[in-house]
């Protein structure tokens, strides 16, 4: 890795460079973030304490933690299946923390897969406003959809579109934009051996060209007064400070804002943030810009939901039987035999490579409605009429996650949410004190 270290050397003092090199003899950091749409930090901390799992707060997010022993908390854990947590490299949490959207805002995550930052931004919105998540690589966009569904996000649009086409169509539409740009991935070297084997100085330089191009597209979709955060998981000055400075030089209608966070170390005249392994994360860079002037976009066309009068009676009957409030039907959208629940005031999506708008609610069958896993994951426990709530230590939790039928105490009949510690984890159909499992095959524990 000497060629890589030589590129890093000018960025650090002699003593810090020695510390930096020594970090590569240590294990990488492992992090987890609580998804506050489904779980509180207090509940997470209590559950970890009861299980004897050691965790420690990270500086990069108020709901981020280091995991001391990865084997004790993994993707097999019920909290992961429930969407209550998201495994995320600690310093990767920094970019969404810097953007910090507010409830009701419209937010774009332009390079979104696999979804760590999108789900983090969605938690800030707290089910209000809109989070548009774009991923140009279609296969990665499918992973993004899966994570959006698992985390119970109902106000998301997921697309697979060229940044230039998307941002031109949605000109001046968003309050905040995150560009976590594809990069040479130098901050991944400790976590992924393949990341270094694929790295070359030339690749890093070519990434910088693409990153600036993406930023030039992103600026079009931002409202005047809006905030744009540019981030990478690399150390290269060419991909970080140089890209930010070129963007500012090209766009006098943008200004650089101070990051004003306690984590990392100052860059770009003290306003931007760099994170090295000795700072508690694998590696990240972030710069924050504000659009000073310009015009708001005239994009006002809203995707019209399906008239509720046109919904089959058996669909209405299912919703009325399953949920206390059926107000979501005012945002129902029929597409062939598929029913979706759109985000409020969802913009027109045609021609933008949209793969999912809102929540996939289920399928129309002959004379009946077949609900989808995503519908229950996006609903609050309080709005679901029938609930089977299990303690995390209950052996039936593991049986459910394996897709098995389970016995239930509740003397109910019909569709019911399966909750773990009060967190909706899936659903099934209850009859004669047995819950017929509807947990998707692709998500089940083997």
Active site residue 233: yes
Give Cα separations from 65 to 34, 70, 138, 276 (angstroms): 8, 12, 31, 17
The CA distance from 92 to 109, in Å, is 14
CA-atom Rg of the chain in angstroms = 23
Overall size of the chain counted in residues = 446
The CA distance from 132 to 124, in Å, is 14
Q: Is the peptide bond before 114 cis (omega within 30 degrees of 0)?
A: yes
Q: Are 227 and 176 in contact (CB under 8 A)?
A: yes
Per-residue three-class SS string for 183-218: CCCHHHCCCCHHHHHCCCHHHHHHHHHHHHHHHHHH
CB atoms under 10 Å from CB of 426, counted, come to: 23
Phi/psi for 291 (5° steps) reads -85, 115
Q: Which of 233, 259, 346, 419 is catalytic?
A: 233
User: Which neighbouring-strand residues pair with 370?
Assistant: 363
- Provide the annotated active-site residues: 233
């Amino acid at each position: 890795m000497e060629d890589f270290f030589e590129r890093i050397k000018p960025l650090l003092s002699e003593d810090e460079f020695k510390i930096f090199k020594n970090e590569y003899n240590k294990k990488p950091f492992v992090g987890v973030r609580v998804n506050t749409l489904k779980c509180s930090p207090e509940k997470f901390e209590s559950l970890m304490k009861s299980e004897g799992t050691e965790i420690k707060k990270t500086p990069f997010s108020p709901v981020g933690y280091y995991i001391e022993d990865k084997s004790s908390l993994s993707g097999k854990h019920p909290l992961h299946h429930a969407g209550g947590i998201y495994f995320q490299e600690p310093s990767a949490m920094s970019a969404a923390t810097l953007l910090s959207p507010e409830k009701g805002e419209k937010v774009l995550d332009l390079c979104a897969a696999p979804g760590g930052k999108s789900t983090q931004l969605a938690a800030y919105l707290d089910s209000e406003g809109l989070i548009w998540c774009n991923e140009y690589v279609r296969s990665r966009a499918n992973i993004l959809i899966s994570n959006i569904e698992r985390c119970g996000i109902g106000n998301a649009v997921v697309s697979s579109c060229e940044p230039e086409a998307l941002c031109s169509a949605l000109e001046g539409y968003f309050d905040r934009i995150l560009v976590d740009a594809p990069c040479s991935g130098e901050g991944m070297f400790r976590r992924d051996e393949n990341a270094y084997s694929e790295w070359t100085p030339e690749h890093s330089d070519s990434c910088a060209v693409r990153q600036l191009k993406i930023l030039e597209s992103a600026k079009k979709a931002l409202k005047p007064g809006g905030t744009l955060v540019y981030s990478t998981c690399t150390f290269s000055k060419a991909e970080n400070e140089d890209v930010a400075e070129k963007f500012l030089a090209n766009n006098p209608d943008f200004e650089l804002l101070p990051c004003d966070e306690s984590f990392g170390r100052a860059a770009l005249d003290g306003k931007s943030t760099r994170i090295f392994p000795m700072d508690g994360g694998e590696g990240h860079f972030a710069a924050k810009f504000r659009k000073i002037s310009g015009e708001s976009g005239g994009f006002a066309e809203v995707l019209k939901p399906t008239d509720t009068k046109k919904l089959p009676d058996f669909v209405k009957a299912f919703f009325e039987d399953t949920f206390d409030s059926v107000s979501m039907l005012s945002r129902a959208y029929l597409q062939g035999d598929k029913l979706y629940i759109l985000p409020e005031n969802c913009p027109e999506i045609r021609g933008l490579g949209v793969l999912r708008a809102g929540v996939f609610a289920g399928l129309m069958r002959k004379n009946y409605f077949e609900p989808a896993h995503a519908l229950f994951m996006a609903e609050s426990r309080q709005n679901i009429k029938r609930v089977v709530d299990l303690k995390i230590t209950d052996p039936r939790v593991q049986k459910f996650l394996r897709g098995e039928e389970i016995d239930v105490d509740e003397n109910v009949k019909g569709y019911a949410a399966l909750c773990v510690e009060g967190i909706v984890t899936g659903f099934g159909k209850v009859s004669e004190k047995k819950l017929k499992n509807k947990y998707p095959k692709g998500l089940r524990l083997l």
